[in-house]
Amino acid sequence: MCDTIVVTSEFAADGVTLFGKNSDREPNEAHHLVSIPEMDHPAGSCLQLTYMQIPQVAHTYAVLLAKPFWMWGAEMGANEHGVVVGNEAVFTKIPYIKEIGMTGMDLLRLGLERGKTAYEALKVITQLLEQYGQGGNCGFHHKMYYHNSYILADPKEAWVLETADVHWAAIRVTGVYTISNAITIKNKWDLASPDLVMYAIDKGWCKSEQEFDFARCYSDFVYTRFGAGHERARNSHNSVKLDDTGVTPGTIMRALRTHDGDHRWHPGQGWKNSHVCGCSYSGPDRRIFRGIFPVPARDW
């Protein structure tokens, strides 16, 4: 299970927006750190994603990506304009597209390559999501299907974007915000897909707009419950808030190493889903790639 944290500049010790993510992938799945330069592309050219092709844009920005080796997309990354994005798997009531589709990781990289700000990256992702949807196997040896949530940040602002198939909601955040494998947005948002509420009403997940709650209406109960995403997000958030002198990269690192909020924890106690850090898992090997990105107000 993955966890992502953002701290906006007002709450950081040195006034720089901070972003961190644990990327938890399968054992023996290499996680590459790759730098891709800015590029110009011929008119009418196509872009091959993990499973499908879409039209390419005229220019793409330079990106630094942390990505599973076999995917076109990435789990986290930054671009030349100081935009950072990290994704989380979320589990919803809407059936997943299991054939060819655009993965959440593809959408993340597209946002970084085409967005000059966090807001622009968000618009890139949501427009492509509404046009193509999301889908395809996201597992390496074991097939895995899910929808996605994101934290997007730049030196000036941060956004949380949460999706369920082609439906989505986004909020602009200030201060500390953490996400794990669960939808967190409830009945207030800054931006949303046009049919977000009516789709839930039509499905019988709520009776009226006043009753609507994105997290409650759209979340799959079993996977969301046993994935312990809400517990991990709360644990990482509380770990960051413990540092009242101003958040530093070290604060984020400690939060991403949290073991259920128990500072007396040791590896012999074993791992459970509510642990933000999965290093102690006693089953098959568990790969954690931990990334911390300061977001300075300057180009690379």
Instruction: Look at residue 269 in the predicted model and tell me its pLDDT.
Output: 47
The more confidently predicted of residues 248 and 35 is 35
CB 50 within 8 A of CB 72: yes
**Which amino acid is it at 270?**
G
Sequence ranges of the domains in the chain: 3-295
The more confidently predicted of residues 72 and 250 is 72
Which of the following CATH numbers is that of domain 3-295: 3.60.60.10, 3.40.50.10490, 3.40.50.150, 3.20.20.70?
3.60.60.10
Residues that are catalytic: 2
Instruction: Look at residue 278 in the predicted model and tell me its pLDDT.
Output: 60
Parallel, antiparallel, or unpaired: how do β-strands 3-7 and 191-192 relate? unpaired
Using a 10 angstrom Cβ sphere, with 0-12 exposed, 13-18 middle and 19 or more buried, the burial of residue 239 is buried
Q: What's this model's pTM, rounded to 2 decimal places?
A: 0.87
Which of 65-74, 212-221, 243-252, 265-274 has the least mean pLDDT? 265-274
**Which amino acid is it at 52?**
M
Pull the structure tokens for residue 263: 């500072």
Predicted confidence (pLDDT) per residue in 267-298, tens digit: 444 444 556 666 544 333 444 555 655 565 54
- Average model confidence (pLDDT) for the chain? 86
- The answer to whether the Cα torsion of 30, 31, 33, 37 is positive or negative is positive
CA 248 to chain centre: 21
Pull the structure tokens for residue 110: 């597209």
- Across the strands, what pairs with 21? 4, 291
Please list, in sequence order, all residues whose beta carbon lies within 8 angstroms of the beta carbon of residue 267, skipping any fewer than 6 positions away.
Answer: 279, 280
In 27-146, beta strands by DSSP E: 31-36, 39-40, 46-48, 53-55, 59-60, 63-68, 76-79, 84-90
What is the rounded distance in angstroms from the CA atom of residue 74 to the CA atom of residue 66? 6
Contacts within 8 Å (CB) and 24+ apart, 215-222: 215/182, 215/183, 215/184, 215/185, 215/186, 216/186, 218/92, 218/93, 218/94, 218/164, 218/167, 218/183, 219/90, 219/91, 219/92, 219/93, 219/182, 219/183, 220/91, 220/92, 220/93, 222/91
What is the rounded distance in angstroms from the CA atom of residue 197 to the CA atom of residue 194? 8
Predicted confidence (pLDDT) per residue in 242-267, tens digit: 566 788 888 888 878 876 555 555 54
